[in-house]
Amino acid sequence: MEKGIITKGVGGFYDVLINDKILRCRARGIFRKDNIVPMVGDNVVVSIADRAITEILPRKNQLLRPAVSNIDILGIVIAPTHPMPDYYLVDKLMVNAEYNGVEILLLINKTDLVGDSTIDGIIDIYKPTGYPIITLSCKQRIGFEPLLEIIKGKVVSLAGQSGVGKSSIINILYPEKQLETGDLSYKINRGKHTTRHTKLLTLPSGAMIVDTPGFSTMNMDELEPQDLAYLYPDFLDYNHGCRYNGCVHDQEPGCRVKEAVSDGMISEGRYQRYVRILNELRELRRNIW
């Protein structure tokens, strides 16, 4: 019995990485009755002699798109322009990752397209979160050393708007495997390409990266509106200073979080998008009950 990690699944077979070697295995029928299907990222126990996965170890999290488990870091990619940043998507991905116990890394790519002040403006929004922020240019190959350092030994997935450079980043990190990159204008053709299977690529640093960037939305059905603010590390210093117990920092008077927004300690935009997500969660509750 050996432990390994599933790097790929194709047609009932699974590639399991065991001590730097890949063993192609079948999954034993036992999982089917428990309704667990092995997935990329799963830590598994393998019987080498039988070439079979005999046990799937508990998952710490599970992404839906791409389907992958046990992610350590979600790299949220943003570009200052082409496309213009969708901060709402960024914040939602952050909330999602926080809720599922995934570390967050903000990657600002395409820094070659704008001046420093534009990049600083993006950094200012997210600095109070304390999330690591790395500025990159795939075109100029800048920023990849700190990126490799931070993902060393971790399982990483990238997410973000189409066209921000997710595939380009993976290509630079893992040049042997060339993913399709495309101009926004060619997007229409992309659906036609051959079906690809999600795969975990092992980088020389021991990091593993999912080769299929996605929106990586995870399950948030059980998130209660009053718990949302706790997923904002930039709110945490102020959360407990509100006049009312259970303040959700919306309409309540004496709200310390809103004060921190006025004082410039929390980004105004972050706060406004927080209220938008809060209202969405409330709406979701109304529809469920």
Ligand X SMILES: Nc1nc2c(ncn2[C@@H]2O[C@H](COP(=O)(O)OP(=O)(O)O)[C@@H](O)[C@H]2O)c(=O)[nH]1
Can residue 168 be called a binding residue for Mg ion (CB under 5 A)? no
The H or E element spanning position 286 is helix 268-288
Least Å distance between CB 109 and ligand X?
5
Amino acid (1-letter code) at residue 226: Q
DSSP codes joined into one string, 28-95: PTHHHHHT----TT-EEEEETTTTEEEEEPPPS-EETTTTEE--SEEEEEE-SSSSPP-HHHHHHHHH
Site string (165-204) toward ligand X, x via CB under 6 A? xxxx------------xxx---------------------
Can residue 228 be called a binding residue for Zn ion (CB under 5 A)? no
Site string (104-143) toward ligand X, x via CB under 6 A? -----xx-xx-----------------------xxx----
Quote the CA–CA distance of 257 and 241 in Å, as a whole number.
8
Q: What does 110 interact with, of ligand X, Zn ion, Mg ion, none (CB < 5 to 8 A by kind)? A: ligand X
Site string (232-251) toward Zn ion, x via CB under 5 A? ----------x----x-x--
Can residue 216 be called a binding residue for Mg ion (CB under 5 A)? no
The nearer residue to Mg ion, 96 or 161, going by C-beta atoms, is 161
Helices (H), 82-229: 87-99, 116-126, 144-151, 166-173
- Provide the binding-site residues for Zn ion, judged by CB under 5 A: 242, 247, 249, 255, 257
